[in-house]
Amino acid sequence: MGLPLRKSKIEPPPFCPLTRSLLLLRGAWAPNVIWALSGEPRRFGELRHDIPLISARVLSARLRELEVRGLVSRHLLNTSPPSAEYTLTELGREVMPAIKALIAVGQKLPEVGEPERKAARRATAVRIAA
């Protein structure tokens, strides 16, 4: 049996600013969506083209979440059929330096899993050829 857990005698700090900042970027593809919007306003279909691996369902969910968090704004266009355009808000533009810093670190990292992927491709090519 383990030792009993003792209560801390100090008050916990207010919600950590780092945690609050990272909560803005949570969710698969959220940084990618923010990056894609960093240049100019984009419509849904344009974002799908900019981020080809994201599904329409996930992109739609991320756009809604980023809008609720105040990073993205949605503007309805007076077109037929109706369309919407997404832009970064001021807060969304403020997180861009952090995303750029993460990209810079990622470019310095070795390609993770590259030997395994090459071996898997070779094995697949051999099976196809046989």
Decide if pLDDT at 91 tops 70. Answer: yes
2 has pLDDT over 70:
yes
Strands 72-77 and 42-43: unpaired
Alpha carbon 53 to its chain's center: 12
Question: What is the residue extent of each domain of the chain?
Answer: 17-129
Mind listing the pLDDT tens digit for each residue in 58-86?
999 999 999 999 999 999 999 998 899 99
- CATH-assigned architecture of domain 17-129: Orthogonal Bundle (1.10)
- pLDDT value for 118: 64
Q: What is the mean pLDDT of residues 18-40?
A: 92
